[in-house]
Amino acid sequence: MTKRILGIIIALFLVLQAAAFAAETPAKPHVVILATGGTIAGAGVTSTTTVGYTAAVTPVDKLIANVPELAKVATISGEQVSQIASESMTMEIWLKLAKRVNQLLARDDVNGVVITHGTDTLEETAYFLNLVVKSDKPVVLVGSMRPGTAMSADGPLNLYRSVILAGAREAAGKGVFVMMNDTIHGARDVTKTITDRVDTFRSPEVGALGVFTGDRPVFYRQALRKHTVDSEFDVTGLATLPRVDIVYHYAGNQGTMIDAAVAAGAKGIVHAGTGNGSIAKAEYPAVENALKQGIIVVRSSRVGSGIIARNGEADDDKYGFVAADSLNPQKARILLMLALTKTNDAKEIQRMFWTY
């Protein structure tokens, strides 16, 4: 009898201890990995193949299985959205991705989303999502510079940290992130700066938002330009985006590519000018023809960082140009495409460029 009572007391004690432990241990976050391709899903012939490998071959299930440590930090599920090298990214995939991210983050049982992506256009997808995701929950874009088959592949650690970041409470409300090489970048500021090295992603104007130390994300800054839940742009119901082309300026340019963009049906042109967004005299006839047809012309710079001063190198008020602020040409194109889903008014579009 005494033994039986003792047994019951011990069992009760163990149950209470387990309950106390469960109450103290926070549930693991649920992070969904959406895979789109890129080098992070790439494979080379040998362990030293770091150029000439094939991007976008490893499926999402295998990407997840290759990093068993992910299961320690989150409950993971994966979906294959596309399987492409990111130079082949399309506006249709962007819309599909954005709509899926919004669906997932609206669910109570999803804490964050990680998107695996080729590094070549990763900054563009990140900025697009920064403007159209309707949630405070973390969204993290991640890639790698070396394929998974390479010696010292950077993908597994980048992915592991992205999952931690996507499940971290302190990452909420800070916009879309790019997580590469121990560093947390904001989608608006980050750009790829080196063709072939793991430290290629930089935020040249204003710096990264934070870093990882071990398994812990540490933030030092916050993005102040509007994003996600504060953005006026919405992809619901959009099947495509208005055509916007980028025209790169160079010595001797006569405006031929502006004419080509107009002929191709562009609704907007981002002019990647020299210096502070200069437009050459020889280009003006082509530019004025574009403006006459209602095409919005945004002045940006091929320099890659710095602010385009309104009414500085061109009379923006006279011509009706829009100054790109500090967005590089590829990001100015994204904002212009979204702006054109709302308005064709250059002044209103300029307001958007000062806002996002």
* Catalytic positions, written as ranges: 39
Cα–Cα nearest to 33, from 119, 134, 143, 192: 143
Q: Rounded to the nearest whole angstrom, what is the least distance from the CB of residue 36 to ligand SIN in the complex?
A: 9
Residue ranges in contact with ligand SIN by CB under 6 A: 37-39, 55, 85-87, 118-120, 143, 145
Q: Rounded to the nearest whole angstrom, what is the least distance from the CB of residue 195 to ligand SIN in the complex?
A: 9
Q: Are 96 and 21 in contact (CB under 8 A)?
A: no
- For ligand SIN, the closer of residues 268 and 329 by Cβ is 329
Q: Rounded to the nearest whole angstrom, what is the least distance from the CB of residue 104 to ligand SIN in the complex?
A: 23
Q: Which residues have C-beta within 8 Å of that of residue 96, sequence separation ≥ 6? A: 81, 82
Separation in Å, CA 16 to CA 13, 19, 23: 5, 5, 11
- For ligand SIN, the closer of residues 131 and 145 by Cβ is 145
Q: Are 73 and 160 in contact (CB under 8 A)?
A: yes
DSSP letter string, 33-93: EEEEESGGG-B-SSTT--SS-B-S-S-HHHHHHT-TTHHHH-EEEEEEEEEE-GGG--HHH
- For ligand SIN, the closer of residues 37 and 242 by Cβ is 37
CA separation for the pair 210, 127 (Å, rounded): 18
Instruction: State whether the Cα torsion 46-43-145-179 is positive or negative.
Output: negative
Q: Rounded to the nearest whole angstrom, what is the least distance from the CB of residue 287 to ligand SIN in the complex?
A: 32
User: Tell me, what DSSP letter sits at residue 96?
Assistant: H
- For ligand SIN, the closer of residues 201 and 233 by Cβ is 201
- For ligand SIN, the closer of residues 37 and 78 by Cβ is 37
Q: Rounded to the nearest whole angstrom, what is the least distance from the CB of residue 86 to ligand SIN in the complex?
A: 3
